[in-house]
Structure 1
Amino acid sequence: QKLFCKHPQVPVRIGLHIGDVILNDNHVFGDGVNLASRIESLSVAGAVLMSDKVKDEIVNHPEFKTTSMGVYQLKNVDRHVEVFALDDDGIVKPDINTLEGKAGLIKPLIKKNATVQKSAALSFRNSIAVLPFHNMSNDPEQDYFSDGVAEEILNSLSSLKQLKVAGRASSFQFRGSQRNLRDIADKLGVGTVLEGSVRRQANKIRVTVQLINITDGFQMWSERYDREMNDIFAVQDEIALSVTEKLKVTLFESERKKIRKVNTQNTEAYELYLKGRFYVNRRGGSILKGIKFFQLAVDIDPDYALAYTGLADAHLLAASYGLIYPKDAGRRAKEAADTAISLNPALCEPYSSLAFYYACIEWKWDLAEQLFQKSFEINPSYAQAHYWYALDFLTWAMGEYEKAEKHAKIAVELEPLSAVCYGMLGPVLHAQGKFEETIVACRKGIDLDPYAFLCNMYEGLANTFLKRYDRAVEIFEKFFTLSNKHPFVAGALCIAYCLMNERSKAQAIYDDLVERSRTVYITYTMIGLSAAHLGLLDEALLYLEKGREAREPIILSTRCEHWVPENLKSDERFKAFLKGFNFPK
């Protein structure tokens, strides 16, 4: 094709497929020929297109670079076919939009208006979801262990550049025995699924796994491992390596080392780490329980980088949700993240944690930006880094709303079934005054998890500022009870009552916040905002100053959020207060 593209140019389209053919009297026909012909007719002059089957066969030849052109239903072909273009300087790489509507020969399964990768995901073979493993131990208390084994395998596979791995939060939505794998794969945009089970008795473990090709439903590989508990790390490595082999993923030596790297040799520390992850993933008050387990893990094994990473994240989450005094939590998070990086600089998570720390606790904007970019460089598919960057840094600190929305939506694309990701997209939209879009995003999160904290919170706030007060109060009053009078919800309900001229109800909530703050830590920012809406500006500024001194992450929202009332915005003392953050102009 390179020669044909040179002068004098010979316009030739090339389509490639591998399959059975029938020869009869010098005629060649059969399904293989038909499919190659359909792909050739889809092409343009000067290009080389190939089927996913050809792509699989050349995956170990890095000199052949390819680009996905999407997934198609070709005429007289039973299965969906992903088509790839050879990507070389000497030949034509067709525009994906030129491949549609070829005289009825093909029909794209998905309108390709966003990214090629997304449209191709339905049958992309080098893509996988690792589902939560079944706990077969007849002890619900062992759920953390079966979840943890699956999550460790998922994390190992996520480090591979050639493999698309569905995020943990989305994959782990699918629990229980009744699972429709094709439906799961469609929702997660993957072509293969790894599922398994774990049975544990004393020091004995049995791990059973199977890898399913969603296209045809066939089992690509299965294995059973009967081992001692001390061998759990080797089992996880073997499973991850077997998956890459079956998916024909070429591993560089550095990637192979990543998979085989043992983060700890201490099984007790490992179990404590898994318990920490299990509880932090449940959010709410469980985060504090997660902190305890992470701390126990690093106490037993001071060289356990992943446990330090978990400890850093847990402290920052606790600070964000107002569960502990943020300034103290931030200091502990920084210490843990610094230690994690010193032990294993190849991890992306601690750089994201440090970036959050410097943005929300130290207000060192340039350093926060550098650390977020470092995290993205190591792993661009780490959803938490994207939504922290989007909300806490780009929205609240920088005021770069368009860029913030882009990163928040990247997080949703990476974790399409994560209520947390929708919960972080909500406030990014809300700060821009996109209240209807905020409600849509939050409702998607609530559909996934009816108790999703931020989704309920910002659905209520969006209704508040759309002046749908009855709906807002309905949401807040319900969640006020469910959240055990969480100060974020209490403050939001107080604001809604103020805007409805229900002053006595608002005053009662404010008084309760103040009274509780005398004996336990209550987020000062929310007390200050409640006071401002009640017209108590002296008290409002006093509590906002306390919030700044406490380094509350949510205090940054006062720069741009709609819950700051006009009487406070126009006060010269508040303007001076904002200048103290040294926000970029």
Structure 2
Amino acid sequence: MSQHRQLAAIMFTDIEGYSALMQHNEQQAITLKNRHRQVLQDQHKHCNGHIVQYYGDGTLSIFQSAVEAVECALAMQQAFRQEPKVPVRIGLHMGDVIFDDEQLFGDGVNIASRIESLGVPGSVLLSDRVQEEIVNHPEFKTYSVGRYHLKNIARRVEVFALDHEGLVKPAPYSLKGKTEEAEGRNRQGLRTFSKLPPKSIAVLPLVNMSNDPEQQYFGDGVAEEIINSLSNLKDLKVAGRTSSFQFSGRNIDLREVGEKLGVSTVLEGSVRKQGNRLRITIQLIKVEDGFHLWSEKYDRSMDDIFAIQDEIANAITEKMKVTLMEKSRNRIKKPTTKNTEAYELYLKGRFYVNRRGASIITGIKYLQQAIKLDPGFALAHTGYADANLMAGLYGLLPPKQVMYKAKESAEQALKLDPSLCEPYCSLGTYYCYEWNKKEAEKNFLKSIELNPRYAQAHLWYGLNYLTWMKGDFARAEEHGRIAIKLEPLSAISYGIYAQILHTAGKFEEALATCKAGLELDASSFLCRLYEGYSYLFLKQYDEAVQIFEQLMKLSNKHNFSHGGLIMAYCKMGNYEKGRLLLEDLKARSLKEYIVCTVIGIAASWVNENLDEAFKYLEKGYREHDPMLLSLKYEHWVPDTLRADPRYQALLDKMDAPEKLPA
């Protein structure tokens, strides 16, 4: 039997869930399989592809050109997304193969197969080698979905997805498939590494060595301040706080930290705080070989905490051989406050705000106290602004009570330190809730200009402005993906990206994104909430009800989950159950703060007469309820409400900028 080698673009396809469908509905399974083959054959003929093998519900084929292979995959997937939809995974790689008349094999085939296994139905995944071949072809739009150790493949492969309208676009770092469990071990059992940026670092939370476990806020806070300080250096890649802190309290493998966060060094250490005395121990370690580049021990008083942080930041920049501009050096050495008591309160405040949920209210109290002790403490003002915005957005406190406070504190922070990016992000969010598009976008863009690596700015700009105010879903998704790249281990980033996808009507992608976020944090409220909404609009009502009922218990009947459950029962046709839940929600609103828009939308699902729904929506308008922003584009607004003239009148009022009362 003759054999020959050749360079080829290799394509694998596979119908997801085909075997299960055969057992459930054999005729439907055969119909989908036939449609899969017909589309495959038509497009391969058009793009000069050669189908080497059919196997069950999948295929293996090759092309002489990577461009033609990608063109074929795109056309196929766009066809499969039309009714009747065929849930197909497609993976492409460019490599050397061994070919004979009956078989195709070699490392190139293995990599293509592994990439297809990572796929999400409706997406097209490409290896980095294919990406290199098509990079100069502007007709193809792609984005990175992360780097993966594929099973039995020595090198770490960066995988890309096509970013075209109509395709499913998986969230970065969310793919699951045939990956190497031993992450990068070669046949001799030695660790192999993809090239990591030499000037890159992750700062882990300092381990609390004090007798009091409540002192953990201090170790977290000191680490966060070092991250903020180092983030001002343009030449240094600093892993995001949320992703770095995923390794808190774990017996970690520093190589795992380096690979997952894409950094070559890790700063770790411990802190012991007894009264006014501190002992901080720090080590800067190379992840590849565990070599200690630098270590130091500080036995000081609390009064020296700012000097210690400056020393650490400057020592790191020296060891990392980062060329500092004078402006960056000044930013590192700039003190935040000289009041150590205010600083401790600030650290406590940030600690509780970062925990989200009801802890935000606790954080607000600590930040208030910090500002009272030192009104000139710029970072305390930025933390206080963010905390109040979150309390209003998540329905923890009435928006009139907190939104203007957020604006005042953000503006005060900029007076104290105009170089901060965070207050501009806060102001961008505030102006969204004043329905002032011009001021909102201006502030968001300024925040991103000052610090393009500030993930929160990309998320809030993407959701609040681009998605809910503008309906520019393509740009919103782009910023969501940037945020996940900056914070690959943050469930919050996945949750907000899922909100963007859901509003865009991409329910399958939103669901996959939520599941990826829940793998990072099983208790993520946002990911669980939008998992429920995604199931709801995929018409998987039993799954949606199960999620919302579970979330009601876990969140102490948070009004967002309460509203989702009402909607789910109504979508199932169980209006009586929905009505009972609505009455309970209204009764709760007499004793606690419930978001007016949630009640209004729930009422519009339950009642044919929409007077009650608009009563609550108008009340939300008067209170500048943040959830009103979602009315124009979100899918939970029923058609009956959209058809009512009062709906458009409400949107028209929101289009005219109106200041929130002080």
TM class by smaller structure: 0.7 to 0.9
8 Å CA contact 1:121, 1:191 repeated in 2:
no
Counterpart of 2:563 (choices 491, 506, 510) is 491
In structure 2, what is the Cα distance between the partners aligned to 1:486 and 1:98? 50
Residue number in structure 2 paired with 1:553: 626
8 Å CA contact 1:121, 1:189 repeated in 2:
no
Q: Please list the CA deviations of residues 279-300 of structure 1 after superposition, one character each: whole Å capped at 9, or x if unmatched.
A: 0000000000000000000000
TM-score with structure 1 length normalisation? 0.80
Counterpart of 1:533 (choices 598, 602, 605) is 605
| Aligned-pair CA distance for 1:454 | 1.0
Structure-to-structure mapping, 1:477-488, within 5 angstroms: 477-488=549-560
SS in 2 for 1:172: helix
In structure 2, what is the Cα distance between the partners aligned to 1:246 and 1:258? 18
Contiguous gaps of at least 5 residues in structure 1:
1-94, 101-106
Counterpart of 1:110 (choices 157, 179, 188) is 157
In structure 1, what is the Cα distance between the partners aligned to 2:565 and 2:238? 40
SS in 2 for 1:148: helix
| Aligned-pair CA distance for 1:439 | 0.6
In structure 2, what is the Cα distance between the partners aligned to 1:485 and 1:176? 30
Q: Please list the CA deviations of residues 232-251 of structure 1 after superposition, one character each: whole Å capped at 9, or x if unmatched.
A: 11111101111111110011
172-181 vs 289-298, which moves further: 172-181
Residue number in structure 1 paired with 2:547: 475
In structure 1, what is the Cα distance between the partners aligned to 2:441 and 2:430? 11
Instruction: Label 1:129 to 1:576 Cα distance change in 2 as closer, same or farther (>3 A).
Output: same
Is the counterpart of residue 574 in structure 1 residue 650 in structure 2?
no
Counterpart of 1:314 (choices 368, 377, 387) is 387
In structure 2, what is the Cα distance between the partners aligned to 1:122 and 1:190? 9
Is the counterpart of residue 172 in structure 1 residue 245 in structure 2?
yes
Counterpart of 1:275 (choices 322, 341, 348) is 348
Aligned length: 482
Instruction: Label 1:123 to 1:561 Cα distance change in 2 as closer, same or farther (>3 A).
Output: same
Counterpart of 1:124 (choices 190, 197, 218) is 197
Q: Please list the CA deviations of residues 441-478 of structure 1 after superposition, one character each: whole Å capped at 9, or x if unmatched.
A: 01111111111111111110010111101100010001
Is the counterpart of residue 372 in structure 1 residue 444 in structure 2?
yes
Counterpart of 1:521 (choices 578, 593, 599) is 593
| Aligned-pair CA distance for 1:323 | 0.6
Amino acid of the residue matched to residue 211 of structure 2? N
Q: Please list the CA deviations of residues 130-185 of structure 1 after superposition, one character each: whole Å capped at 9, or x if unmatched.
A: 01110001211100001111111111011110000000000000012511110111
Residue number in structure 1 paired with 2:82: none
SS in 2 for 1:264: coil
Residue number in structure 1 paired with 2:481: 409
In structure 2, what is the Cα distance between the partners aligned to 1:561 and 1:97? 37
SS in 2 for 1:311: helix
In structure 2, what is the Cα distance between the partners aligned to 1:97 and 1:499? 47
SS in 2 for 1:380: coil
SS in 1 for 2:402: helix
In structure 2, what is the Cα distance between the partners aligned to 1:121 and 1:418? 23
Residue number in structure 2 paired with 1:158: 231
TM-score with structure 2 length normalisation? 0.71
| Aligned-pair CA distance for 1:217 | 2.0
In structure 1, what is the Cα distance between the partners aligned to 2:421 and 2:317? 22
In structure 1, what is the Cα distance between the partners aligned to 2:513 and 2:534? 11
In structure 2, what is the Cα distance between the partners aligned to 1:96 and 1:519? 57
8 Å CA contact 1:397, 1:583 repeated in 2:
no
Amino acid of the residue matched to residue 485 of structure 2? E
In structure 2, what is the Cα distance between the partners aligned to 1:122 and 1:170? 20
Q: Please list the CA deviations of residues 334-391 of structure 1 after superposition, one character each: whole Å capped at 9, or x if unmatched.
A: 010010000000000000000100112x111011111111101110111111100011
Counterpart of 2:466 (choices 372, 390, 394) is 394
8 Å CA contact 1:122, 1:190 repeated in 2:
no
308-317 vs 547-556, which moves further: 547-556
Q: Please list the CA deviations of residues 423-455 of structure 1 after superposition, one character each: whole Å capped at 9, or x if unmatched.
A: 100110001111110011011111111111111
SS in 2 for 1:129: strand
Amino acid of the residue matched to residue 648 of structure 2? K
Structure-to-structure mapping, 1:212-227, within 5 angstroms: 212-227=285-300
442-451 vs 190-199, which moves further: 442-451
Structure-to-structure mapping, 1:293-308, within 5 angstroms: 293-308=366-381
In structure 2, what is the Cα distance between the partners aligned to 1:481 and 1:96? 46
Residue number in structure 2 paired with 1:333: 406
Amino acid of the residue matched to residue 396 of structure 1? W
Structure-to-structure mapping, 1:335-374, within 5 angstroms: 335-360=408-433, 362-374=434-446
Contiguous gaps of at least 5 residues in structure 2:
1-129, 136-153, 163-171, 174-192, 658-662
Is the counterpart of residue 564 in structure 1 residue 646 in structure 2?
no
Residue number in structure 1 paired with 2:254: 181
| Aligned-pair CA distance for 1:97 | 3.2
SS in 2 for 1:413: helix
| Aligned-pair CA distance for 1:112 | 7.0
8 Å CA contact 2:155, 2:194 repeated in 1:
no
SS in 2 for 1:200: strand
In structure 2, what is the Cα distance between the partners aligned to 1:112 and 1:439? 20
In structure 2, what is the Cα distance between the partners aligned to 1:96 and 1:476? 41
| Aligned-pair CA distance for 1:264 | 0.3
Aligned CA-pair RMSD: 2.2
8 Å CA contact 2:570, 2:605 repeated in 1:
yes
Identity across aligned pairs (percent)?
54
In structure 1, what is the Cα distance between the partners aligned to 2:406 and 2:581? 32
In structure 1, what is the Cα distance between the partners aligned to 2:652 and 2:375? 41
8 Å CA contact 1:298, 1:304 repeated in 2:
yes
8 Å CA contact 2:389, 2:426 repeated in 1:
yes
Residue number in structure 2 paired with 1:97: 132
In structure 1, what is the Cα distance between the partners aligned to 2:450 and 2:278? 33
Amino acid of the residue matched to residue 153 of structure 1? I
SS in 1 for 2:655: coil
Q: Please list the CA deviations of residues 529-564 of structure 1 after superposition, one character each: whole Å capped at 9, or x if unmatched.
A: 110001241100111111121111111111011101
Amino acid of the residue matched to residue 404 of structure 1? A
| Aligned-pair CA distance for 1:108 | 6.7
8 Å CA contact 2:156, 2:194 repeated in 1:
no
